[in-house]
Structure 1
Amino acid sequence: MKKLLKVALVAVCMVVAGNFAKAQSKIGYINTNQIMEQLPEMKTLQTQMQAYQKTFSDQLATMSTELQSKGQDYEAKRSTMTDASRTATESELQDMQTRITTFRDNAQKQIEAKSNELLKPLTDKLRAAIQAVAATKGYAYVLDSSQIELIVSPAGDDLGPAVKAKLGLQ
């Protein structure tokens, strides 16, 4: 009976010790935005995105200018127009406003999609470097400090310098 009790006690202690060891997983953190900004490819990407956005903003400016000029022309001639032509012009101006709004919404979606497409290789590269450093240093979890506020963050758990070194940044 005493042997059975001792074996059971040892088994319970081993299970508790095993769970305690699992609970001691290392957690690190990194500011991914800061590192992304330092990547040399980011400057090229920003230039490409500015050029891409400019094509939409130029078209939007042209459309807005056309709407303004037609609106001013309508206001100037409104009192001399017939009811039918006034209704037709108002309908045309409303249609132009709708097209501008639709164009702006679609442009925003296309810009966001293009940004995600261009950023994907950089984020994949950064993620691979973070995973390699975390595996090397024995970290089970790595938090992104640019996404959450860390109240307590010991410098020893900051993987930023190691990831920068892995990516060849200073």
Structure 2
Amino acid sequence: MKRFFRLFLLTLLVCAPLSLFAQSGARYGYLNRAAVIALLPETARVRAQLDSLRAKYEAEARYNETAFRRQYSEYLQVQKNLPEAILLKRQGDLQMAMERGIAFRREAENLLKKAETELMGRVGEQVDTVIRAIGAERGYDFVVDTSAGTHPYLNPQKSEDITPYVKARLLNAQ
């Protein structure tokens, strides 16, 4: 009996800390990262830069389109009077001009996407740095980004909305 009692006490001593550990649970923070990024003045500056760049590319594309239409109009006016060899050459010229215009539009879109990724990436890095700092200061095990809508429930007893802390730090740093 004494031996059974000792074994019971030993088991109790070993299991007690494990049950306390299981009850402690993780602490985590959450925020809508996209909403925080949208509020930053830097985001507005980036959007203005991108809009300006987009307008320049659009103006150049319109210029190319106008030149193509002029060239096509001239072709239509003289096509009846030209020999077949010249007609074929002009048709080839028109085809190349049209392909160049389409290629320019594609390249412009790719360049705009690249510029947006680069410029917005810098803003995102700035936000992530602040999130990591606040997470460490407040002792979180992790921080969840709710902007994707993939977390329908976050336990309010174990989590905290860190959006106000992140906004304050970012806006004070500006």
Equivalent pair of 2:30/2:145 in contact (CA under 8 Å): yes
Give the 4+ runs in structure 1 shifted more than 3 A.
Answer: 1-18, 153-156
Closer/same/farther in 2, CA of residues 163 and 119 from structure 1, 3 Å limit: same
Residue 29 of structure 1 corresponds to 30
Letter in 2 for 1:144: D
Q: What's the offset of the Cα at 1:158? A: 1.9
Is there any run of 5+ residues in structure 1 with no aligned partner, and where? none
Q: SS state of the match for residue 143, structure 2?
A: strand
Q: SS state of the match for residue 167, structure 2?
A: helix
The residue correspondences of 1:39-54 to structure 2 (distance < 5 A) are: 39-54=40-55
- Quick check: 1:159 aligned with 2:137? no
Closer/same/farther in 2, CA of residues 31 and 49 from structure 1, 3 Å limit: same
The residue correspondences of 1:57-72 to structure 2 (distance < 5 A) are: 57-72=58-73
Larger radius of gyration: 2
What is the alpha-carbon distance in structure 1 between the residues aligned to residue 36 and residue 122 of structure 2?
A: 14
The residue correspondences of 1:11-160 to structure 2 (distance < 5 A) are: 11=14, 14-15=17-18, 18=21, 20=22, 24-153=25-154, 157-160=160-163
What is the alpha-carbon distance in structure 1 between the residues aligned to residue 82 and residue 11 of structure 2?
A: 99
Residue 7 of structure 1 corresponds to 10
TM-score normalised to the size of structure 1? 0.80
Q: SS state of the match for residue 168, structure 1?
A: helix
TM-score normalised to the size of structure 2? 0.78
The C-alpha deviation readout for 1:73-117, integer Å capped at 9, x for no partner, is 222333333221221111111111211122112111211222222
Equivalent pair of 2:28/2:143 in contact (CA under 8 Å): yes
Q: What's the offset of the Cα at 1:39? A: 1.4
Structure 1, 147-156 or 121-130: larger mean CA deviation: 147-156
Letter in 1 for 2:47: Q
Equivalent pair of 2:40/2:171 in contact (CA under 8 Å): no
What root-mean-square deviation, in Å, do the aligned CA atoms of Structure 1 and Structure 2 show?
2.7
